[in-house]
Amino acid sequence: MLPSPQTDQLYHFARLGLPIGSWTPFGERFAFLLIALGIWTFFSPSLERTTEFRFDWIFEIWVRNLVLITIIAGGLHLYLYTFRRQGADWRYDRRAYPAKGKAFVFGNQLWDNVLFALGSGVTVWTAYESFFMWAYANSVASLITLEEHPILFVALILLMPYWAGFHFYVQHRIMHWPPLYRLVHYRHHRNINLAPWSGMSLHPAEHVVDQSDCLLFLFIPSHPVHVIFNLMFRTVGAISSHTGYDGLRLTKSRRFEFGDFFHHLHHRYFDCNYGSLDTPWDRVFGSFRDGTPESHQRIKERRRAMRARSARAPAH
Ligand SMILES: [Zn+2]
Ligand SMILES: [Zn+2]
């Protein structure tokens, strides 16, 4: 019998005691790293070419990113939603995707999601990556190699999910400040039910903030692979965390793990799970919700306390 999303996700929680556990070869992190290494080895301009900003090499990066997202998001969408090859197995929410309505550009959630993912999402991603290729070529960012600094090189890769998770929590929490939410973040939250294209469906300004965690590498000696890998969490990672499924069935008993029930609950309830499972901030600040009745109750009490606090606050 397939486990329910709740119990399955609790299995993930249990593994968090060992951070290295999430680097399983059947998990998305390992895949992100392989993609980043592949991109750097076969599909990136050499640093000799990137000493000045030029249309040709920036265009190459843009095309590669566009193709990558189209293959991954488009492929998963076709497999899971168009041809329904996995049925409802491991799906979090049985409601239909895409939703229709005036809230979406073209009146259709899918085409709206594709527009923002390939439009602003890929463009901002290309801008950050191109900036760093120029920065490494001009020593604006300091470049290390695996041969010269193996410990730092590997440590940066292993710690990347925790940095990405921390940055995501902070910027996402700020995005839920009501004026910013109404101006920017509301666009992502029109997606109540999720599918692969929803992950990169953000307001263009939010793409700029969301992907800015790579700017850390202006201050830490690093390699283009680190920047490319970091950006994976915000691009390919956003697709895989919004699939609406908890994994892709490989064999009867084994699946490739993706999806993010934790974040799925954020889309359902809004005021919980701002970060990722790699970081403790939602537990620390009382917004942690894992889908169990106890966590629903905790959130209800938190809402009641917040309402009582704002009722007591003096009127301006
Ligand atoms: Zn949000
Ligand atoms: Zn989301």
**pLDDT tens digits along 107-126:** 999 999 999 999 999 999 99
Q: Say if 115 falls within a structural domain.
A: yes
How many A from CA of 188 to the centre of ligand 2?
6
Q: Say if 207 falls within a structural domain.
A: yes
Q: Say if 229 falls within a structural domain.
A: yes
How many A from CA of 273 to the centre of ligand 1?
9
Q: How many CA atoms lie within 13 A of 188 on its CB side?
A: 30
> ∠ CA(293), CA(297), CA(303), 5° rounding?
145
How many A from CA of 172 to the centre of ligand 1?
6
Task: Answer yes or no: is pLDDT of 8 > 50.
Answer: no
How many A from CA of 110 to the centre of ligand 1?
19
**pLDDT confidence of residue 9:** 44
How many A from CA of 261 to the centre of ligand 1?
14
Q: Say if 291 falls within a structural domain.
A: no
Q: How many domains does the chain have?
A: 1
Between 74-88, 142-156, 281-295, the lowest mean confidence (pLDDT) is in 281-295
What would the mean pLDDT of 22-49 be, rounded to a whole number?
A: 91
Task: Answer yes or no: is pLDDT of 236 > 50.
Answer: yes
What would the mean pLDDT of 172-188 be, rounded to a whole number?
A: 96
Per-residue pLDDT reduced to its tens digit, 128-163: 999 999 999 999 999 999 999 999 999 999 999 889
* pLDDT band, residue 42 (cuts 50/70/90): very high
Q: Say if 33 falls within a structural domain.
A: yes
List all residues 6 or more positions away from 104 whose beta carbon is below 8 Å from its beta carbon.
111, 112, 190
Task: Answer yes or no: is pLDDT of 7 > 50.
Answer: no
Task: Answer yes or no: is pLDDT of 17 > 80.
Answer: no
Q: Say if 167 falls within a structural domain.
A: yes
How many A from CA of 16 to the centre of ligand 2?
21
How many A from CA of 282 to the centre of ligand 1?
13
Q: Say if 284 falls within a structural domain.
A: no
* Domain enclosing residue 247, as ranges: 24-272
List all residues 6 or more positions away from 145 whose beta carbon is below 8 Å from its beta carbon.
153, 223
Q: Say if 13 falls within a structural domain.
A: no
Smallest CA-to-CA distance from 196 within 244, 261, 139 is with 244
